Amino acid sequence: MKSEDVARYLHDHPEFFDQYADMLALVTLPDPHSGRAISITEKQLFNLRDKVRTLESKLVELIGFGEENDAIGGKVHGLAVALIAATDQAAVVRALYSHLGGAFAVPHVTLRLWGAGQGEGHEFDAVADAAKAFASGLQRPYCGTATAQESLAWFGEAAAHLRSMTQVPLREPGGACFGLLVMASEDPHRFYPELGTLYLERIGEMAAAALLRVVA
């Protein structure tokens, strides 16, 4: 009789060990840690302990994600309150720069507006049609390498040292893009391509609503 025949028999007759329970005590397996022979019961205990450790690790990871999301949610809420309190274009821009640079610790933040009236500051500097088309075509915020494009040049002398960036389109309620919020970092891993964009989208929506409310 081959080992395959024994395995097939036990598979087809799961009641075997109910009838011959004492046989289980004779079956031994190698300990995965020490190599010594152990019983099936001990093997099951080892497996259960490994599963418990894995579940505990996953639980700790999930708790960490939850705490991180709570922290980000609190920062987004703080930004929302500041934007609601802003009564003019300059105050909205200050709130954006202050909260993104402070609470979110983004080292470089800038903004360009082109389809929502006129205002003061570099936020209303002329923007090339190619940059406008790029922003309009974004289905979600861009995250990735800080490439040599017009929006990177908006950071002036700091542009040469930036390694990652996110570009968040600002849209009117109807969907037309009227601006671009850009954040960048010297850290190449700060805004990586696989980064989730849910909070960035929410920030873009809040910024757009606040700016449309105050820009003449």
Gap between the Cα atoms of 182 and 96, Å rounded: 11
pLDDT exceeds 90 at position 81: yes
Domain at 86-214, CATH from 3.40.50.1820, 3.30.1330.50, 3.30.450.40, 3.30.565.10? 3.30.450.40
DSSP 108-149: EEEEEE-SS---SSGGGS---HHHHHHHHH-SS-EEEE--SS
Boundaries of every domain in the chain = 1-74, 86-214
Q: Tens digits of per-residue pLDDT, 143-189? A: 999 886 789 999 999 999 999 999 999 999 888 999 999 999 999 99
Which residue in 72, 70, 112 sits closest to 195, CA to CA? 72
**pLDDT in the model for residue 189:** 94
pLDDT exceeds 60 at position 216: no
Q: Tens digits of per-residue pLDDT, 6-53? A: 667 667 777 766 666 666 666 666 666 655 655 666 667 777 777 777
Tell me how far CA of residue 150 lies from CA of 41, 91, 193, in angstroms: 67, 26, 19
**pLDDT in the model for residue 101:** 94
pTM higher than the cut 0.85: no
Q: Backbone dihedral region of 156: left (phi > 0), alpha (psi from -120 to 50 degrees) or beta?
A: left
Mean pLDDT score of the chain, rounded to an integer?
Answer: 84
Gap between the Cα atoms of 179 and 124, Å rounded: 9
